[in-house]
Structure 1
Amino acid sequence: MIRRLSVDSSKTNVRAEKGSVLKDENSLQEPVEATSGTYATPFLSLEYSGSINGSLKSTLKSKLGANNSQFGVISSAADLINTILPIFGGLMVDHFGICSSTLVCMFFILLGNVVDSIGATKNHYNAFVAGRIVFGLGQSVLETAQRKLYYPMPNRGLALVFALDLGFVRICNILGKVTALPIANASYYAMTYWTSVIFTGLSLCANIAVVFLMKKVHKIDEKVVFDKNMLKIHKVFLALPSSFFLFAVSWIFQPSVFSTFNKIVADLVKVHYNVSAEQGGFYSALTQVVPVVMTPLGGVFVDLYGRRPQFVPVAAGVYIVVFALIAKTSVHPIIPLILSSLAFSISTISLLASIPLIIHNQKHLALALGIWKSFINCGDVIMSVVVGRVQDITPNQSYVNVIWIFMGVKAWAVVLGVVYIICDRAFFMKIFDRSVKNRLKLECELGCSIFQASKLSWEHEQLSANISRFSCLHVMGSLKRATTKLTSRSGWFGDKSFNYTNLFAPQFPYNLPRRQRKMLRPSPFFSLDSNLPIVLLLIAGLQHALACLAGVITPPMIISQTLNFSNDLQSYMVSASLICSGILSIVQMLHTRIPYTNKYIGTGIVTIVGVSFNTIPVFTSMADRMYSNGTCPNNTDGSRAACPEAYGYFIGTCMLASLFEIGVSLLPATVIKKACPPVVSSTVIIMIACQLLQSSGFSNWSGGDCTENCPSADAPRPLPYGAIEFIGLGFLAVVTILFVEIFGSPFMKSGSLIIALAVGSTVGCACNYCVNKIRDSPAITFLWVHTFKLKVDPPSILPILAVYLINSVEALGDITAASEASRLSVGGSEFDERIQGGILADGLAGILAGAMTQAPMSVFAQNNGIIALTRVANRSAGLVCAGYLILFGVLGKISGVFISIPKPVLGGVTSFLFANVLVSGVRILSRISWQRRDRIILATAWTFAFGVLLVPEWSAHFFRGVDTNGNEALEGWLETIETVVSTPSILGCLVAMSMNLIMPEDVDEESKDASDMEQGINENRNTITEIPSTAQSTQSQLEK
């Protein structure tokens, strides 16, 4: 059915002049003006009836004998029926018209209020719920019909009209909240609902009068014409752009926070702030005051200046502040309640007024509004039930846990706001960001409304093309391609060009037969965005995950052992490290542009991140200092006790210092290379590897925990430190690595460290060398199961800043190597953007990892070898790898397996891993020209660095005679100096950087080296020319 509105006005051609406002006679301006009372009268009763339940929550619970969950059913019963009906209500409004729809709605609203009143009078719970359901039948269509009236003004005053509508709704809510308790106290609480019946009856009469005036005075004739195509609802759904469904699905729980908060705010204020019920109702009414004024002002701002997506994260931030004030402070309730109403004022307008901008076919606008309302109501139902259930489970917590749920939802809204801004700029040509001036200018160029134009300008063509990319038909095409890929052999395995035999077959490198050499033909190369078969995608992702798995789990295990964490906390540290690595790897690989800038976040290529080994020496020094000065406790036997406070100091300091790497990312790559040339970066990497080999690798290999109190009666095998059994078990792991590297297939080589851990753990557990910590690990876990108090350790700031500088240099080299392995250019603007985005993502990873209770993370180099080995540089393989890491982290038992590995096995494998880091530092040294200047810089830096490594106590008495007199600032400065001079990697870094800046370039040495090189080349050339003559003379002698 298609509804046709005939208006007593003729069509006229409108000339588009600059600055003029276009007017279309088909936009039904007269009906909009005439029908301003069509929704005003019904909504007076609708909103009044819907707002009184929150104020009477305590009364309803006591009279009806309901708990919090049952009250959630009462408050969400209307929303429950509205999860589906608004869709059909939208179709009804589109087909039968607004006048008929509002009359039907008012009848159901009146009937529902009557049933509610009877249930309240009889104190009957089921009757009360039935009344709310009948009430919802009318509510579902009335709001859709009311907003259908607004579609003639999508480009002008739409936000203002929506704002005035919401302001009117707030007034009705204030009226209901303020009068509900006085009426209930004056007589009986059921009288409040009978008052609502009176309001609804008067509204129905007024609505009939308004419809009569519309038909008789304004001559609006709603004719219904049947069309079979309109009965095909699935085609109507497909006609809606999927961008609309993107907004509807992602926003499903956001409005429910305010609506649920609005329902419980009176009781929340009463319980949380210990005030009377009347005061709670009065304070809750204040949440409706600010929107009455601020919502129209926000609508005017949106109409004049646009900026619709920017309202979303700002409002979410205000909500988080509100809930933090309620949960963590004792401020007066008026302050957070007014702030919450302010957040509601600026958040509701932006997306609600954007729906007509997305729906180009206005005859489907009511259907779209109905779908939007259905999603919002689904969120309201779920949120109301969850909140009630949480209150019942934790009765002693009051509303604290509910507030935390609200904060989590609004934190997600901040992320959504950023996504909306990016999508608007990337795909929708800033249609939501346009001001009214820009829209009117474009309309003047088109000669009609931008939403009625049909490819009259290149901009509109591009806009239509961008939006069509997100249409439901495009989604259906994508689903069809996905189905084809899942059901075909080529989709799973690809063509015969990829050699799976080469990937899985073991190799015997000695005297390889010619037949086997033919089988080892190279596989095709899969570029960054190529289409990979599913099996190869899963295999390549698993190889990347196995290659970086040992590097991801080793640092948290070292940190846990250093601070003597309990088994469950050790398991959490490993799980959280895997999850955090997967999430931040996805951020690194997306290569997202920052709005309004030419900067990026992420590299856009296969780059996996994990906990940086560079931070471990600094952490070890900090932990040693805290155990020595009493910040961390010690056990009575002299061993270290658990110290989560030290870890909180560490990650808090790292989060603060990560701002330095974010600043470094904004510098050109040449500046970074100038500050940290190879002589500096190689020194740091070599010293880090040596320090890790000394403090962690060989320490664990020789017995691990036995090094503190040896032999320990609590150990599974109480053997002395360095026992031959320990050495042999670690040696078995190293031999396994070498065996796999020689004879293993390419797939096995990528996971050689994991295979060594598996073999060593199997033998060790069979010989009773390991402790079963799997039972202490949960089956499923996630981030923030354990949290740490974030603090800043001033003495560690300077060393960590040096670590972040080195991380920047390492990231530059790793991203360059990954680009070369992916056969991408290593020069030009695209490469510079990749470098800048990668270093910036590393800096942000320092903040985000700390927020996820993990140490700073940086780009790994191991995955570059996997790209070269498998010839798969596809970004999807990296995303699959990130998915594997998240899966491994969520499955808590896997972390239990890792922390159950015997210390000698772990020591042997990590020693090999740290030696590989050492080799990487030596490889960097091969890039320098070995001039006299380079040798002096390295000799000076290594003098101090290796000296501290071999004799750690050399700086123990530097400040023995210094009297600080309780000066905390001086004590902190002295501790900073002690940390720097006692950490080999940091001291070597500072000395190398200082020498690099001080030592001048030796020009004579450079020219001498160049001449020596040229002379050597000439001598070799002469030698080569003499070889033929020598051979001829030798041959003549043999003939004689």
Structure 2
Amino acid sequence: MADDGNHHPQGIPHSINSNFDDDFEKSDENSPLLSSGVPRGASCNDVEYRGPLTGCGAWKLCDPRSAWHRYTFILILTCLLSFGSYYCYDTPSALEEVIKDDMQIDTSTYELLYSLYSWPNVVLCFFGGFLLDRVFGIRIGTLVFGGFVLTGQLIFALGALFDSWICMVAGRFVFGLGGENLAVAQNTYAVTWFKEKELNMVFGLQLSFSRIGSTLNMNVNKPIYDSINNDLLPYQRLGYTLLVGVAMCVFSVICGIVIGILDFRAEKLLNRNKASTGEVIRIRDIKDFPANLWLIFLICVFYYITVFPFITIGVVFFSEKYELTPAAANIVNSLVYFISAGASPIFGFIVDKTGRNIFWVIIGTVITLGCHLTLAFTFITPFAVMSVMGLAYSILACSLWPLVAFIMPEHQLGTSYGFMQSIQNLGLAVVSIIVGVIVDGSGYLILEVFMCAMLCVAIMFSVLLYLIDASRGTGLNFSAKERRLIKEAKKREKEMQTSCD
């Protein structure tokens, strides 16, 4: 899953647009990443009662306004909504050698398991919010997309169990129909239930839970496979291993049912509008995208294709080059996820406090290039190299994705972020196939040279973005202090205009 850094895999918000009631002041500061039916600055605990709560509702744990209710039930359920999908997404990576041996396929064929996940999201990234807002609603939509994830993983597992490769790749395609949009639903629940000042913490915890799911998958699937009865045929052992992922998806669907019931209860008890993503998707807005926004898109694509596709083949790479055991190779391969779970909130805070986003983008990209060069041409322990790559990935994600909001007006942010994720998924889909072809035909050294070349392109676009920003004065690389002074100046100017009127 592609990740945005602070919230979601490929996870940044699909939109930071918001629709507000006329009675509430519109402010650009501290806006939630996804708007809800609750006005900006308001959450479930801020909305008027229809009447006093009685019975269980009189207890803080049952009162939808109460922090006890939000943090005891809603926060945990929100974090667990996409746990199953993140656990299952990188299951092929954790079992790469097993899948290739048991299904008798090469690396380029194996990579279809990832490219077929990304292809539907080239389109669906535009329309996920629309489907949640206008077609299903948040509660039903969560179950629909969670159902796609569950069904896809089940088809994937049954394909292995009955030795059907076609069934396995079909399962991954169905899985892709739900994975990204389930994260949109997750974010919508978050901004519906939590105050603005709580959202950074909530999104940080969501990211941590997702990374726990990915890390757990990387480290338990091979031991599970090895522990299954050796009397079974190899592909049957693979199928039963994949069914563990089905159980994880069932668990997430159950969480979706429970939080849906609690959300419905809150909607009835409180005078609250239905939750929505607030996404505004206008395809015609694409023609108005400025040059620096296109550069951000290109940086995103050329950077992310050097991280996620590499992880898909990382276990075999580390086993062959460094002669690691399968368990150790899985640990190394999961370090980017594990490190980013803790580092992303920290670097997000640092970038917020310092500004200079383009500087941080260049730093993250250069460090990642150094990591791939080290993996290609040295035998320095991969534990250290992948840990550093996890830090670099966190730096890049925390500094790159917010740049879109610095450039585009609010009504075009939905289209901007949707297109950014769409082109990112397109890059991942294409490069996943290229990675398989390179590994089969030329080996891992040439693959690393390819990764380094892509990062050099990303660095080139980053420097070009810096030069354009400096020449046009668009402020993408301003310090946090400079941005604050500009906001204060604009606020004073607005107040003066209001007083004159």
Report the TM range for the smaller structure's normalisation. 0.7 to 0.9
Task: Indicate the SS of the match to 2:374.
Answer: helix
Partners of 1:212 and 1:239 in 2: CA distance? 42
Q: What is the CA-CA distance between 1:403 and the residue it aligns to?
A: 0.5
Q: What is the CA-CA distance between 1:151 and the residue it aligns to?
A: 8.3
Deviations 1:834-861 (A, max 9, x none): xxxxxxxxxxxxxxxxxxxxxxxxxxxx
Which residue among 75, 84, 87 is the counterpart of 2:126?
87
CA pair 300-250 structure 1, distance change in 2 beyond 3 A: closer
Deviations 1:944-1000 (A, max 9, x none): xxxxxxxxxxxxxxxxxxxxxxxxxxxxxxxxxxxxxxxxxxxxxxxxxxxxxxxxx
Partners of 1:158 and 1:415 in 2: CA distance? 34
Deviations 1:803-844 (A, max 9, x none): xxxxxxxxxxxxxxxxxxxxxxxxxxxxxxxxxxxxxxxxxx
Amino acid of the residue matched to residue 155 of structure 2?
Answer: V
Name the count of aligned residue pairs: 435
Deviations 1:779-813 (A, max 9, x none): xxxxxxxxxxxxxxxxxxxxxxxxxxxxxxxxxxx
CA pair 211-235 structure 1, distance change in 2 beyond 3 A: same
The residue correspondences of 1:116-127 to structure 2 (distance < 5 A) are 116-127=156-167
Which residue among 99, 102, 113 is the counterpart of 2:153?
113
Which residue among 418, 429, 434 is the counterpart of 1:381?
429
Q: What is the CA-CA distance between 1:26 and the residue it aligns to?
A: 3.3
- 8 Å CA contact 2:81–2:186 kept in 1: the answer is no
Amino acid of the residue matched to residue 411 of structure 1?
Answer: C
Deviations 1:685-707 (A, max 9, x none): xxxxxxxxxxxxxxxxxxxxxxx
Which residue among 251, 256, 259 is the counterpart of 2:308?
259
Which residue among 78, 87, 90 is the counterpart of 1:48?
87
Asked if residue 337 in structure 1 is aligned to residue 377 in structure 2, the reply is no
- 8 Å CA contact 2:403–2:476 kept in 1: the answer is no
Which residue among 441, 452, 456 is the counterpart of 1:393?
441
Partners of 2:293 and 2:376 in 1: CA distance? 35
Deviations 1:707-754 (A, max 9, x none): xxxxxxxxxxxxxxxxxxxxxxxxxxxxxxxxxxxxxxxxxxxxxxxx
Task: Indicate the SS of the match to 2:274.
Answer: strand
CA pair 439-164 structure 1, distance change in 2 beyond 3 A: farther
Task: Indicate the SS of the match to 1:340.
Answer: helix
Q: Which runs of 5+ in 2 are unaligned?
A: 1-16, 46-66, 229-236, 497-501
Q: What is the CA-CA distance between 1:289 and the residue it aligns to?
A: 2.4
Q: What is the CA-CA distance between 1:393 and the residue it aligns to?
A: 1.3
Deviations 1:358-386 (A, max 9, x none): 34225x54443332221111111111111
Deviations 1:886-933 (A, max 9, x none): xxxxxxxxxxxxxxxxxxxxxxxxxxxxxxxxxxxxxxxxxxxxxxxx
Amino acid of the residue matched to residue 125 of structure 2?
Answer: P
The residue correspondences of 1:802-951 to structure 2 (distance < 5 A) are none
CA pair 331-37 structure 1, distance change in 2 beyond 3 A: same
The residue correspondences of 1:257-656 to structure 2 (distance < 5 A) are 257-362=306-411, 365-394=413-442, 398-427=443-472, 429-431=474-476, 433-435=478-480, 438-440=482-484, 442-447=486-491, 456=494
Task: Indicate the SS of the match to 1:221.
Answer: coil
CA pair 276-446 structure 1, distance change in 2 beyond 3 A: same
CA pair 15-388 structure 1, distance change in 2 beyond 3 A: closer
Amino acid of the residue matched to residue 407 of structure 1?
Answer: C
Partners of 2:432 and 2:27 in 1: CA distance? 53
Aligned twin of 1:166: 207
Q: What is the CA-CA distance between 1:290 and the residue it aligns to?
A: 1.6
Amino acid of the residue matched to residue 412 of structure 1?
Answer: V
Which residue among 221, 224, 239 is the counterpart of 2:273?
221
- 8 Å CA contact 2:19–2:39 kept in 1: the answer is no
Q: What is the CA-CA distance between 1:431 and the residue it aligns to?
A: 4.3
Partners of 1:294 and 1:194 in 2: CA distance? 32
CA pair 147-134 structure 1, distance change in 2 beyond 3 A: same
Partners of 1:256 and 1:91 in 2: CA distance? 28
Aligned twin of 1:135: 175
Partners of 1:170 and 1:419 in 2: CA distance? 32
Partners of 2:302 and 2:91 in 1: CA distance? 23
- 8 Å CA contact 1:89–1:367 kept in 2: the answer is no
Q: What is the CA-CA distance between 1:406 and the residue it aligns to?
A: 0.7
Aligned twin of 1:103: 143
Q: Which protein has greater RCO, CA pairs closer than 8 Å, 6+ apart? A: 2
Aligned twin of 2:59: none
Asked if residue 184 in structure 1 is aligned to residue 225 in structure 2, the reply is yes
After TM superposition, the score normalised by the length of structure 1 is 0.38
Q: What is the CA-CA distance between 1:250 and the residue it aligns to?
A: 4.4
Q: What is the CA-CA distance between 1:295 and the residue it aligns to?
A: 1.1
Partners of 1:351 and 1:150 in 2: CA distance? 22
After TM superposition, the score normalised by the length of structure 2 is 0.76
CA pair 22-414 structure 1, distance change in 2 beyond 3 A: closer
Partners of 1:31 and 1:419 in 2: CA distance? 44
Partners of 1:242 and 1:416 in 2: CA distance? 11
Task: Indicate the SS of the match to 1:253.
Answer: helix
Which residue among 77, 98, 104 is the counterpart of 2:116?
77
Which residue among 250, 258, 266 is the counterpart of 1:201?
250
Aligned twin of 1:64: 103
Aligned twin of 1:30: 43
Partners of 1:46 and 1:180 in 2: CA distance? 15
Amino acid of the residue matched to residue 134 of structure 1?
Answer: V
CA pair 207-426 structure 1, distance change in 2 beyond 3 A: farther
Amino acid of the residue matched to residue 221 of structure 2?
Answer: A
- 8 Å CA contact 2:145–2:181 kept in 1: the answer is yes
Amino acid of the residue matched to residue 130 of structure 2?
Answer: L
Deviations 1:258-301 (A, max 9, x none): 10111111111001112222221122223322212211110111
Partners of 1:182 and 1:243 in 2: CA distance? 47
Aligned twin of 2:63: none
Q: What is the CA-CA distance between 1:415 and the residue it aligns to?
A: 1.5
- 8 Å CA contact 2:188–2:275 kept in 1: the answer is no
CA pair 240-324 structure 1, distance change in 2 beyond 3 A: closer
Amino acid of the residue matched to residue 169 of structure 1?
Answer: S
CA pair 51-408 structure 1, distance change in 2 beyond 3 A: same
- 8 Å CA contact 1:312–1:413 kept in 2: the answer is no
Partners of 1:250 and 1:123 in 2: CA distance? 40
Q: Is the deviation greater in 240-249 or in 173-182? A: 240-249
> Which of structures 1 and 2 has the bigger CA Rg?
1
Amino acid of the residue matched to residue 54 of structure 1?
Answer: S
Q: Which runs of 5+ in 1 are unaligned?
A: 225-229, 449-454, 459-1040
Q: What is the CA-CA distance between 1:342 and the residue it aligns to?
A: 1.5
Q: What is the CA-CA distance between 1:161 and the residue it aligns to?
A: 6.2
Aligned twin of 2:9: none
Partners of 1:149 and 1:427 in 2: CA distance? 39
Deviations 1:320-379 (A, max 9, x none): 2212222221222212111211211111111223333334225x5444333222111111
**Percent same amino acid among aligned pairs?**
20
Partners of 1:422 and 1:60 in 2: CA distance? 46
- 8 Å CA contact 1:253–1:380 kept in 2: the answer is no
